[in-house]
Structure formats: C-alpha cells, structure tokens
Amino acid sequence: MRIGKQDQAITSIATSDDKSITVRGHDLCSELIGKIEFVDYFWLLVIGKTPTNEQRMMTNACLVAIAEHGLVPSVQAARMTLAAGPDSWQGAISAGLLGMGTVVAGSSEIAGRFVVDIVKKCADGRDIEEVCRESLERIKAERQKVPGLGHPQHSAGDPRADVLLKLADTHGISGEHIQVLRMLAKLAPDIINRPLPINVSGAIPAVMLDAGWPVDAMKGIPLLARAAGLVAHLFEESQRSIGFIMSHQADQAIAYEESETSEFAHGHQQPKGRTL
C-alpha cells in the first residue's frame, strides 16, 4: 500500500559504498574525522554547511544552557527505566527524550514558531508592539500560556536566558526575533496581569533564529543537549542507583482514593472471564 508522497526519493545528507562514507559532499574519513568539531558537524548535517564563529559560539552556549536542570520529570523517567532494565540504555534514553514535551524542556519549538509568526506579521510594516500586544491578548483570551515566558522555579528571571541574550547582544547576533521576544516580555505583565520573564526555552529559539538556525529544526537543539545530560544521569544511575528510591518516594507521596463512580466501589462483583 502506497501512503504519502512517492516522488523525490532522494537524500542529500549521506551515502556510502564499500570504500568510503560521504557526508554532505565531504569524505568522512579524510575530511571530517579529527578535523571538525561536533557543533560544526551538527550544522553541516542539518544545514549543509559549517557555522560561522558566531553561530558556533551561540549553538555551544544554547546546548550548554539546556543540557542539565537536575531531576526533572524526563530525567526521573530515564533513571527509573534504567533501574528496571539495566541493560536498556537505549530504552532509558528514549524514555527521557519522550518526556520532553510542551511543558518541560521541549517547548523551544513552540516558542520559536510563536516568535516567527509575529516577525512575519511585522514584515509588511506593522508595528512590532501592536502585533505583540494582539498576540498576548489572544493568548489571554484563550487562557493559554505565553510561549517562551515564565518559569515555575525561576519566577524572578531565568538566569540562563539572561546569559544567552547578553551573548547574542555582545556578538552582534541579536535581531528581529530577540526584539520580538523582549517586546513580549515587556508587555506581558500588563496584559497577562503577572510578571513573565523570558525563560530559556524562549531565549534559545530567539538567539538561534537570529543566528540563522531554521525553526523547523529548533526542537533538535534541546533534544541533542538533553541527550548528553541523560547519558550523565544514566551513567550515575548505573554506578549509584536512585531510580527505585524515586519510585518508592512517589508511591509514598501519592494517596489512593477509591473512585465513587467505579462499579466495584458499590459492591458489584467483577465479571468472571470465560475459561477457554
């Protein structure tokens, strides 16, 4: 059964034969291994060309900023998975990455698209403050969270975001996406009725977009970074396990409450299964 588009059966990333491996037109063994840094290789793989000095610096900074934030839910999922299956590193890494959703660690893409949409609306000459205000008022009316703003722990301001934005300013990277993000943060308190400082998941897409990284690949930045952090947690888990400690603490902290709507809560017997 044929599903989806069937034309353009091509790839421009890599190919190999019995004697060589070619990546984006470069011989892997003679041109890349030992001659290129990983961030440069990452840009080459995704974009098709190596980054400028400023792009390299900004990418490194973003990866370092988001790689680790303690025992967040995705890390706990990974460590408990490894505790239950010590031979399944790939499963534990997957559990951690799958936990990077729209609430914790994985919201950079959403914030990036939000900022890009505002930039596009301003492209025809509309005032940036007007468009940002309209966007915030719409979000308030829909009772949604503002992408890229606010943090449950760093409520007074996310220090990671501050450093990333300062780096972008210092190295001449700051452009229209950072301008939009800062305008949103400026207007948000009056419209949303509470302070909403820029968070790291807002700063990362803003600085990377201004650096030339595509929004369609934005989620790859936190995914790559957190994969490195998860490796650290899984190695520690293999040496000094806390996975079952976390599981036990969760079991102790959560109370059982019988559902009043359950038929079994009202004296009904569970139907007996048919014996085959």
Q: What pLDDT score does 126 carry?
A: 93
pLDDT at 276: 44
pTM: 0.89
Query: In this predicted structure, what is the pLDDT of residue 3?
Result: 83
Task: Give the pLDDT confidence score for residue 113 in this predicted structure.
Answer: 97
**Cβ atoms 223, 107 nearer than 8 A:** no
Predicted local distance difference test score (pLDDT) of residue 259: 81
Task: Choose among 161, 219, 211, 164: nearest CA to 185.
Answer: 161
Predicted local distance difference test score (pLDDT) of residue 117: 97
Residue boundaries of the structural domains of the chain: 17-50, 108-217
| Sites in the chain below the pLDDT cut of 70 | 105, 151-156, 262-276
Given this model, what pLDDT does residue 159 score? 94
| pLDDT, position 269 | 57
The per-residue pLDDT for 8 is: 81
| Max intra-chain CA distance, the chain | 74
Q: Residue 1: its pLDDT value, please?
A: 77
Are 242 and 235 in contact, with CB atoms under 8 Å apart? no
**What is the predicted pLDDT for the residue at 264?**
58
pLDDT in tens, 101-110: 777 767 899 9
CATH superfamily of 108-217: Cytochrome P450-Terp, domain 2 (1.10.230.10)
Exposure class string for 153-175: b at 16+ Cβ within 10 A, else e: eeeeebebbeebbebbeebebbb
148: burial class by Cβ within 10 Å (0-12, 13-18, 19+)? buried
